[in-house]
Amino acid sequence: MRCDRLWRRARVATLAPGRPGLGLIEQGVVAATDGRIVFVGPESDWPRASRADEEIDLEGRLVTPGLIDCHTHLVYAGDRAEEHERRLAGESYEAIAREGGGILSTVSATRAASEAELVRASLPRLDALLAEGVTTVEIKSGYGLALEHERKQLRAARELAHLRAFTLKSTFLGAHAVPPELAGRAEEYVHQVCTEMIPAIATEGLADAADAFCERIGFSPGETRAVLEAASAHGLAVKLHADQLSNQHGAALAASLRAQSADHLEYIDEAGAAALARADTTAVLLPGAFYFTREKRVPPIDLLRRQGVRVALATDCNPGTSPLASLLAAMNLAAVLFGMSVEECLIGVTRAAAHALALASSAGTLEPGKHCDLAIWNAERPAELVHRIGPNPLHARIWRGH
Ligand SMILES: [Zn+2]
């Protein structure tokens, strides 16, 4: 066998399904050609006559698949730190929102920003993720709430993917909130999203999927269904912010639409979990939002386990409810606040997250044929990635073999 690059003397957590736990291989090697994995296994199985153009000795370091952040809103302008400060000083969210705070302050800042300004503002957040071994990022729109501004956000996401080496999946989230100029006229806005925005975004190829915020303070299940059915009809995959603050039967709705993922799920019930498992829809848990908004209701992990639902984790990186740009911290929060195991956390940011983005055939595990996306850690055991907050144990990040 011949390969471009060979990483030797590694502890490889392949995350390959069918192997116990994380599929750990001691004294492992990973070989890649043209950005794809051609071999992964114990060094003793590496064919003796093989030649590698470049060999890298990892001296026993842990190697995992490149991490996948499958739910972010990281392209936006403005800042909500001052608003946070006011809330800490005792002002209510309602009072702040009445003065144009909350999500609408991000909407007006994002509308006022040029595409270049959005890119500039978002780059540090993206860089923070990449610095911790992330190789795939999903980015949603949803702070434009008008076609030209939603487009601008999605184009800014695309520009980020030109500036940095990572795999982008972009999601149109026009149904995030009703724009201020249509306050109280949700029906009219939903009509616009379905008949103008989705067709345009889909035709221009600006998004891989569409998403909606199904909640008492967002869109009703009926409005959500209309948006996601329109998205499906235009060839977009669908995802859903579901059952975060109340049980709207969003998980069941997501399953009935064969969504890639249903995200948040603090209030998911037994029927919702069973529906997700049957539809093979991935549950995406977002511990940053849970932590930052001091939610009281923990997503029912035992129920999800019992029903055999695939569970992913993501940062939900956004300016208001989850100003978090660290997937390692998200794993720690999920372990501490949700009681998830080390294995569940790591699967959540690799194999399961790949499913949440329909990338399971090319990413999320280390197996021949997949993209060679690696995170190489100054760590011996996977538990070290979940245990700490702060020290960044990344040694090197490899995207498509480089
Ligand atoms: Zn979100």
Six-digit token string for 344: 């569940």
State the DSSP string of 211-224. EEBBSTTSB-HHHH
Task: Please tell me the distance between residue 74's alpha carbon and the centre of ligand 1 in angstroms.
Answer: 10
- Which pLDDT score, from 0 to 100, does residue 265 have? 96
The amino acid at 148 = E
Residues 165-183 pLDDT 10s: 999 999 999 999 999 999 9
**72 alpha carbon to ligand 1 midpoint, in Å?**
6
Say how many Å lie between the CA of residue 121 and the centre of ligand 1. Answer: 19
β-bridge mates for residue 283, sequence order? 262, 311
Q: From CA 93, how far away is CA 102, in angstroms rounded? A: 8
- Ligand 1 centroid–CA 25 distance in Å is 35
Checking DSSP bridges between strand 62-65 and strand 374-377, what pairing results, if any? antiparallel
Q: What's the pLDDT score for residue 208? A: 98
Tell how far the Cα of 60 is from the centroid of ligand 1, in angstroms. Answer: 37
Question: In this structure, what are the phi and psi dihedrals at residue 297, rounded to the nearest 5 degrees?
Answer: -95, 115
Place of tokens 């984790």: 313
Block mean pLDDT (10 aa), the chain, length 402: 94 93 96 97 92 96 98 96 91 80 92 98 98 98 98 98 98 96 95 98 98 92 97 98 92 96 96 98 97 94 98 97 97 98 98 98 98 97 95 97 96
| Cβ atoms of 143 and 107 closer than 8 Å | yes
CA of 316 to the centre of ligand 1 (A): 5
CA of 212 to the centre of ligand 1 (A): 9
Return the structure tokens found at 48.
Answer: 């003796």
Q: Convert 312-369 into a string of H (helix), E (strand) and C (coil).
A: EECCCCCCCCCCCCCHHHHHHHHHHHHCCCHHHHHHHCCHHHHHHCCCCCCCCCCCCC
Please tell me the distance between residue 269's alpha carbon and the centre of ligand 1 in angstroms. 20
Q: What is the pLDDT of residue 326?
A: 98
119 Cα: distance to centroid of ligand 1 (angstroms): 19
Residue 188: predicted pLDDT: 97
- What is the whole-number distance in angstroms between the Cα of residue 342 and the centre of ligand 1? 23
